[in-house]
Amino acid sequence: MTGRRLVLATRNEHKVQELRQILADLVEELDLEIVSAAEVDGPDVRETEVSFEGNARLKAVALAEATGMPAVADDSGLVVDVLGGSPGVFSARWSGTTGGVDLPRADRDRANLRLLLEQISDVGEEHRSAAFVCAAVLALPDGTVDSTEGRVHGAIIREPRGDNGFGYDPVFVVGSDNDGNDHGRTLAEYSDEEKNAISHRGRAFRELAPILRKRLSE
């Protein structure tokens, strides 16, 4: 089947472009058009679950039901071992709000990052291990749901480095052996292509690609 549309549960055009890059081969093979929730007037869904997979499922199912199209959603975040897996699903809002009002994204990212570094400031390098986790979910209008997960392991450094990233990217060193971990690059020091090749989101969606191929060809 060709000429299919796949709607992504985000209004962030950067994430749409990122997914188009990750799934480029599949897009060409299936003549697949990837669109954002904003382009199809999709619903806003509150992330009320306590797992990445649960939140991604909520968004994908709601979008598929509302649009009648196959829908993909993801939820991702940072899990820090010494914090018992936090910030986890609360990664994007770890620092809360100011006066009950959400901060602009860049300000919120800085606040989240600053709070995280303060919380583990006294933790030695050997205990600063962490991982980025992403759950990706495909939901079809007939109720079929599939999910995958991607992880990238590393460690949290003490000072941000790099400009090509967002969120916690500037303090996350990929694949660190926790031995004086400043020798590695942070995700914010990777190019977009390099990051897509190893990131948690890239891994989750590459795992989802053969499932997409099967479901959208049926």
Walk me through the domains of the chain, giving residue ranges and CATH numbers.
Answer: 5-217 (3.90.950.10)
Residue 180 confidence (pLDDT): 41
Tens-place pLDDT, residues 166-202: 899 999 999 854 444 445 899 999 998 888 889 999 9
Whether 75 sits among the annotated catalytic residues: the reply is yes
Q: Which residues contact 41 (CB under 8 A, 6 or more apart)?
A: none
Taking residues 112-118, report their average pLDDT.
96
Residue 176 confidence (pLDDT): 53
Residue 106 confidence (pLDDT): 82
Residue 3 confidence (pLDDT): 59
Full-prediction pTM beyond 0.75? yes
The DSSP symbol for 104 reads P
The CA dihedral of 160, 77, 190, 181, to the nearest 10 degrees, is: 50
- Which residue in 74, 75, 109, 169 is the catalytic one? 75
Residue 177 confidence (pLDDT): 47
